[in-house]
A and B are shown apart, each in its own frame.
Chain A
Amino acid sequence: MNPRVHQLLTVFDEGDAQGVMALRIRRALQAAGCESEIFAGQVRSAPGNEAAALPPAGPKDVLILHYSIGSPATRIFLGWGGRRVLVYHNITPGRFFRGYDDLAMLECFRGRRELGRLGSEVDLALAVSEFNAAELGERGFAQVGILPFPLDEEILGGEVDLRLAGRLAGKGTRILFVGRLAPNKRQDLVIRSFQAYRDLFAPEAHLDLVGAAPIPAYAAELRRTAAGGGGRGITLTGQVSWPALRAYYRAANVFVCLSEHEGFCVPLIESLRGGIPILARAAGAIPETLGGAGVLVEQAEPRKLAVLLNLLAEPGELRRRVLAAQDRRLAELRAYPFDRRLREFLNL
């Protein structure tokens, strides 16, 4: 009989990266004949269950903890009597939140400290990137497997908000970044680069910054930065539904990511799939996720980025070459045997 393999998250939301990965893992496990459910401290969507409902473990049963911040879920995980597997999604270094959200900063410090204590408590640690695996290694995890974030065609290829897509299809180039508004993601630099692009090359251009705004002080700073350049053409959308997100990807001419810290960066693979040329900073796991595709910059100087945005938005040689490399990367990601690798890691 196959073991039961359950998953535990701090928050389960089918719309965020961890939620998407948990759903994919559940599908793979159920296809392999395992009983598999998702539990979380906070459940925001089906099929998540309250963590308190987690059944007691048999000796062969497995609990997978998706870890990105210290939370009460860790205590439940450590109390699990069966095998314990940690999937590390990365914790943003707390210093990024300094001055914006001091409590978030302290929670990140605590999360990293707690992570250091988990090394000897898990039977297996998995990281979604080499970058994350190296962090686990530094914190005393002896053996770490790499299980990259899965490319989920079902989610990416779903229904599109056609009304929104129609509205976005007006004149003018559309530049896109997707990610919650957070200091490590440096949307402030994205705005300044866009303003330079608009001033120098494309007065009709638009910038869509898609993502929730969990840190009010940083969101307010972004609004001030946008207003400083006249605020024209810049939309901070807030959190959007999957159909709306697909409409933004469909309308985008260039995807730009200037994050200083990313443990994987799922929107990059969504952009690969959407056939959108990518301009990104070579930071964190971004080079690894792009794997030889996109244009990577070491420094984010707005005027130089403005020129690159213009070259990538126009139907010229650079755009053609970048898209060709991105298609190759997409094929690599599609060929990755996620389900098989997961079963191998779990000895199923």
Chain B
Amino acid sequence: MSWIRANNPEIDPAQLEAEVEKLLAERRVPAAAPASDVTPADGDELEHLYELLDHYAEALDEGALLARAGRGAFLLRPLLKIFRRLSRDQRIFNFLVLEVLREQRSRLSRRDER
């Protein structure tokens, strides 16, 4: 497949591609390099939203945080307690949004199937 676009009238893409392959071969670089052009951005935007909501609806992993804090854990414990109380409403809201979105999607797909 051609990988240089024929946009520039001054350039012959096939000839330039061949020149690139030749120069790579001369330097003993494998021409068929592994695919490295993987975008971090492919996929369904709604799926990304679900994942985000899942993430923010999840409880903070307090055990892991306390383990990482080591001897400072005794200082962290009361702060986490306050944080848990403050973030409770936001977590409930995130759960609800997630459930509403999933319910809407499944209704739409049921309607499409009919």
Chain A: residues with CB nearer than 8 A to chain B? Answer: 93-96, 98-99, 102, 105-106, 109, 183-184, 186, 189, 192, 200, 260, 282, 287, 290, 292-304, 307-308, 310-311, 318, 321-322, 324-325
Chain B residue contacts of A300, Cβ below 8 A? 36-37
Question: Any chain A CB within 8 A of the CB of B81?
Answer: no
Chain B: residues with CB nearer than 8 A to chain A? Answer: 1-5, 7-11, 16, 19-20, 23-24, 27, 29, 33, 35-37, 39-43, 45, 48-49, 51-52, 55-56
Chain A residue contacts of B29, Cβ below 8 A? 200, 303
Q: Which residue of A lies closest to B30 (CB)?
A: A303
Contact of A189 (CB < 8 Å), options: B3, B37, B48, B55: B37
Contact of A302 (CB < 8 Å), options: B19, B33, B39, B49: B33
A109 touches B37 (CB 8 A): no
Known A184-B41, A192-B36, A302-B33: A292·B24 in contact at CB below 8 Å: no
Shortest B101–chain A CB gap in Å is 13
Chain B residue contacts of A287, Cβ below 8 A? 5, 7
B33 touches A303 (CB 8 A): yes
Total number of residue pairs linking A and B with CB closer than 8 Å: 104
Known A105-B52, A304-B24: A295·B39 in contact at CB below 8 Å: no
Known A322-B10, A322-B11: A260·B36 in contact at CB below 8 Å: no
Shortest A243–chain B CB gap in Å is 32
Shortest A105–chain B CB gap in Å is 7
In the bound complex, what is the Cα–Cα distance between A282 and B43 (angstroms)?
20
A200 touches B27 (CB 8 A): yes
In the bound complex, what is the Cα–Cα distance between A98 and B3 (angstroms)?
28
Shortest B20–chain A CB gap in Å is 4
Known A95-B43, A96-B40, A98-B41: A297·B11 in contact at CB below 8 Å: no
